[in-house]
Each structure stands twice: as C-alpha cells, then as structure tokens.
Amino acid sequence: MTLNGRKVAADVTPRTSLADFLRERMNLTATHLGCEHGVCGACTVIVNGEPVRACLTLAVGCDGFDVRTLEGLLNDEIMAALRDAFHHHHGLQCGFCTPGMLISAHDLIRRGKASDDREIRQGLSGNICRCTGYTDIVTSVRKAAEAVARSRDATTATQA
C-alpha cells in the first residue's frame, strides 16, 4: 500500500484490522480505537480518497491502496485550517475523538459539504464525542471551511 505518500509492504495475518496495522506495525497512533465496531468514528482514515473506519477494514484488503492517516495530512491546507480553528474555537477537550473528527471534517470541506451548521452536523454524525456537546466542533469546522474558501478565493484573484 501507499501509506501517507510512502510505499510500504508487510506480512499481516488475514484478520489484522487496518487500525491495528497502523498503530502496532507502523506506529501511527493518531488512529484511535474506540468501539472497534465502526460506530464511534475515532479510527477514521482516508482510503483511496474516501473516509473509512480502520477498525472494520482489513489490512490485507488495502493491498495496492492509498491510505492516509492524520499524520499524513500535516502539510495539507485544509488540515492546517482545521487545526487552527479547533485550537481557536475550542473544538476539542479530551482529544480522543479528535483524529477521526478531523479526518471526517477534512472530507466534508474537501467535498464542499461544510457550508452551514446543519450540513456539518449531518456530515459528522458518524463521529461520537463524549466531551464537547459538538457546538465548538461544528463552529471549528465551519470556521475552517470559511478560511479555506477565503484562501482559495485570494489565490484565484491573484492568478486572474
């Protein structure tokens, strides 16, 4: 597989989840394991451009795929805006849900599905947070989406 832009190969047992492979074999610990049933969203990663639950995905099934974890998005424009917004608008408390929340929010912004609070709440409905009540998370995602849109508008204006 290509993992965060780098080709990796490993022998794994057929039952090894992608989450366990990422955490235990690749030392990529931003992928959190919560429920291990695909319900909480803490283990969300990007596989071939789509968010997936790493606890439900078998590592062997990702042979030849492109896998991105939170660590692989460090230099990403959308993720930079999300990190800044989560910091300034208090979008996290304990931080356990945050990696999965950030991956899901990244996907929403990338697809243009973060234009209002209702759309953001719907898009994040598969990510459970037990601390924040979601208000600050939704605000953070909306502010990040606005920042990304402003940045892209400014880039477009300077190129014209």
- The residue out of 46, 72, 98 marking a domain boundary is 72
Q: Quick check: helix, strand or coil at residue 113?
A: coil
| 71-91: burial string, b at 16+ Cβ within 10 Å, e else | bbbeeeebbbbbbebbeebeb
Instruction: Identify whether residues 53 and 83 lie together within a single domain.
Output: no
Domain membership of residue 39 (yes or no) is yes
Containing 119, the helix (H) or strand (E) segment is helix 117-123
Instruction: Identify whether residues 61 and 84 lie together within a single domain.
Output: no
Give the tens place of pLDDT for each residue, 117-141: 999 999 999 999 988 889 999 999 9
Sheet holding 2-3, edge to edge: 6-7, 2-3, 66-68, 44-47, 50-53
Instruction: Identify whether residues 49 and 87 lie together within a single domain.
Output: no
Instruction: Identify whether residues 65 and 87 lie together within a single domain.
Output: no
Containing 3, the helix (H) or strand (E) segment is strand 2-3
Return the closest-CA partner of residue 113 out of 139, 137, 141: 141
Instruction: Identify whether residues 67 and 11 lie together within a single domain.
Output: yes
* Contact yes or no for 148/111 (Cβ under 8 A): no
Range(s) of the domain holding residue 53: 2-72
Instruction: Identify whether residues 28 and 64 lie together within a single domain.
Output: yes
Give the tens place of pLDDT for each residue, 17-72: 999 999 999 999 999 999 999 999 999 999 999 999 999 999 999 999 999 999 99
Instruction: Identify whether residues 91 and 141 lie together within a single domain.
Output: yes
Give the tens place of pLDDT for each residue, 69-117: 999 999 999 999 999 999 999 999 899 999 999 999 999 999 999 999 9
Domain membership of residue 160 (yes or no) is no
Domain membership of residue 7 (yes or no) is yes
Beta carbons within 8 Å of 112's beta carbon, 6+ residues apart: none
The CATH number given to whatever domain includes residue 66 is 3.10.20.30
